[in-house]
Amino acid sequence: MPIITIEVALAAIFSFTLIAPLGIPWWVPAIAVVAMACVVIGLRHFSERHRAGLWAGLAVVRNNGRGRVIAFTLLAVCAQVARNWLMLRAIGVNVSIFDSIGIADCDVHRRTASNRA
C-alpha cells in the first residue's frame, strides 16, 4: 500500500506534463497533488494509530525506513521514464523526456487500477 501511494503521488506531481497534450485545465494537476498529499498524511496518521494485524505493514510509513521506500520508489519511477524514453527513441519516435514522463504516468494509473480489481 505505501509503495502504490507513493507512486500515485509521484504521478500526480508529474501530471503537470500532461496539461498541454490532454488539454486539461492547469488546476486539475494541482488538485491531484493536494489530494495525494492529504492521502499520504492520512496514511501516516492511520499507521500511527493501527500497529497490529493487517496494518503492521504500514510500519514503514512511521519509522526510519520511510526515506528508503520513497527513494527506491522514486528510482523505480525514474527507471520507467528512462525505459520509455529509450524504447521510443529506439523505434524512431522523437520524444522529449516530458513525453516519457506522461507515458510513465499512464502506466502508474493503469497498474493502480488493475490492483484495485
CA distance 50 to 69: 20
Residues 18-75 have pLDDT tens digits of: 777 778 888 888 898 899 888 878 877 777 777 777 666 666 666 677 777 778 888 8
**What is the torsional sign of CA 8, 68, 98, 86?**
negative
Q: In whole angstroms, what is the distance from residue 104 CA to residue 11 CA?
A: 8
Residue 28 has what pLDDT?
A: 86
The predicted structure's pLDDT at residue 112: 52
Residue 59: other Cβ atoms inside 10 A = 13
The fraction of the chain above a pLDDT of 90, given in percent, is 2
pLDDT of res. 108:
52
Q: Supply the pLDDT for residue 104.
A: 61
* pLDDT > 70: percent of the chain: 77
